[in-house]
């Protein structure tokens, strides 16, 4: 007001516009939709923390999760049908150019800013954040390109955001914060959400290991990419996990004969099991037990059950240039 000789009423109006257009973050413990001179705000740098989905009219807690997720699934599934390879593992970015379904998605995802996430169930949040995460990475990679340096990757993973339910989320805060139950990821010194973080009540308590086989891990050997419904999210995640585990890129069995002619088995697993072993259990028996619970009845499960019962097995992790989600080469984007 002093520097630019702006009237009080006009200054208040400008302050409100900063909030409505998501140009300012509210940093006071007490916050609300109306601009107040008694609260603190942090201006967002346009090239850094303005969310990619900005632009919706500010109407907090007005969008219901069930309706939004079903609409999101409908739009995204049509888009996946056009941009994914036949095996649902490869993303053709060039097919997004002038794509009608992609434009629908960009308009729809703006409304995520006003989602009402209060009193939601774990299944509701699982389905929503899985669907947003997978499509968010397609959006980010299309806008910023396939990262070629570690700094480029860190910007994309940690410092590029969507506004969801009134809070900023990076892909890291969705993956390690919400879906993994607020656990430290690779190279992280602390959990994504601190004790005072207002997003903390939304985490999936204790995490959900199936998420590792439900998200695109951005290698050529990712799990299939699909959408998830609130009503059946756990079964859909298990279905996707089974498809992945039946692939030699995720699980392969090798047998060796010991001197006493007893067979010993080496179970080769995708490196996600190494990078995030804490999510699957404490030891080898826990890991194999988790896999057995996920698999449906069939030859693979019978063979693994016999190996588990024999106790003559060990794990090795696929020795290839496949990196985890946090250090991926994004080589499944074309």
Query: How large is the average pLDDT for residues 6-22?
Result: 83
Q: Please tell me whether residues 23 and 172 are part of one structural domain.
A: no
Order the strands of the 251-257 sheet from edge to edge. 251-257, 263-269, 313-317
Among candidate residues 240, 257, 282, the one where a domain is terminated = 240
Q: Which residues of 192-218 are buried (b: 16+ CB within 10 A; e: fewer)?
A: bbeeebebeebbbeebbbbbbbbbbbb
Q: Please tell me whether residues 278 and 164 are part of one structural domain.
A: no
Residue 29 pLDDT greater than 80, yes or no: no
Q: Which domain holds residue 35?
A: 8-43
How many structural domains comprise the chain?
3
Please check whether residue 24 lies inside any domain of the structure. yes
pTM of the model: 0.81
Please check whether residue 330 lies inside any domain of the structure. no
Give me the residues paired with residue 255 across strands. Answer: 265
β-strand pairing of 162-164 with 24-26: unpaired
**pLDDT score at 146:** 82
**pLDDT score at 38:** 80
Q: Please tell me whether residues 274 and 235 are part of one structural domain.
A: no
Chain centre distance of CA 221: 17
**pLDDT score at 1:** 83
Q: Which two tokens stand for residue 165?
A: 């339910």
Please check whether residue 147 lies inside any domain of the structure. yes
Please check whether residue 119 lies inside any domain of the structure. yes
Q: Please tell me whether residues 185 and 87 are part of one structural domain.
A: yes
**pLDDT score at 43:** 64
What three-state secondary structure class fits 10?
A: helix
> pLDDT tier at 3 (50, 70, 90 boundaries)?
confident
**What whole-number percentage of the chain has pLDDT above 70?**
88
pLDDT digits (tens, 9 = 90+) for 108-153: 999 999 999 999 999 999 999 999 999 999 999 999 888 777 877 8
Query: How large is the average pLDDT for residues 74-91?
Result: 95
Residue 45 pLDDT greater than 70, yes or no: no
Q: Please tell me whether residues 209 and 235 are part of one structural domain.
A: yes
Q: Please tell me whether residues 172 and 69 are part of one structural domain.
A: yes
Please check whether residue 112 lies inside any domain of the structure. yes
Q: Please tell me whether residues 73 and 150 are part of one structural domain.
A: yes
Q: How far is CA 28 from CA 22, 25, 32, 35, 61, in A?
A: 16, 9, 10, 12, 19
Please check whether residue 198 lies inside any domain of the structure. yes
Residues 6+ apart with CB under 8 A from 64: 115, 116
Please check whether residue 277 lies inside any domain of the structure. yes
Query: How large is the average pLDDT for residues 64-89?
Result: 96
Q: Please tell me whether residues 158 and 194 are part of one structural domain.
A: yes
């Amino acid at each position: 007001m002093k520097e630019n000789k702006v009237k009080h009423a006009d200054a208040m109006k400008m302050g409100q516009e900063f909030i409505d257009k998501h140009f300012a973050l509210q940093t006071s413990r007490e916050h609300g939709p109306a601009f107040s001179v008694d609260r603190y705000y942090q201006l967002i740098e346009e090239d850094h923390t303005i969310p990619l989905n900005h632009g919706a009219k500010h109407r907090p807690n007005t969008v219901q999760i069930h309706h939004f997720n079903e609409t999101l699934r409908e739009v995204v599934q049509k888009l996946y049908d056009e941009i994914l390879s036949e095996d649902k593992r490869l993303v053709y970015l060039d097919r997004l150019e002038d794509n009608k379904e992609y434009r629908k998605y960009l308009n729809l995802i703006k409304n995520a800013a006003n989602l009402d996430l209060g009193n939601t169930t774990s299944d509701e949040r699982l389905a929503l954040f899985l669907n947003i995460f997978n499509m968010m990475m397609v959006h980010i990679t299309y806008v910023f390109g396939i990262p070629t340096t570690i700094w480029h990757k860190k910007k994309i993973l940690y410092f590029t955001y969507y506004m969801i339910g009134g809070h900023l989320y990076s892909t890291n805060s969705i993956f390690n914060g919400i879906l993994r139950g607020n656990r430290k990821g690779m190279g992280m010194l602390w959990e994504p959400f601190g004790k005072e973080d207002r997003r903390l009540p939304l985490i999936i308590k204790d995490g959900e290991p199936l998420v590792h086989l439900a998200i695109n891990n951005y290698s050529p050997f990712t799990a299939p990419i699909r959408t998830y419904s609130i009503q059946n999210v756990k079964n859909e995640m298990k279905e996707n996990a089974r498809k992945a585990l039946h692939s030699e890129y995720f699980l392969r069995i090798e047998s060796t004969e010991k001197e006493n002619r007893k067979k010993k088995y080496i179970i080769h697993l995708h490196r996600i099991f190494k990078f995030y072993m804490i999510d699957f259990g404490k030891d080898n028996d826990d890991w194999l037990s988790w896999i057995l619970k996920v698999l449906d009845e069939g030859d693979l499960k019978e063979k693994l059950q016999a190996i588990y019962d024999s106790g003559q097995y060990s794990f090795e992790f696929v020795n290839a240039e496949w990196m985890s989600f946090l250090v991926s080469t994004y080589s499944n984007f074309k």
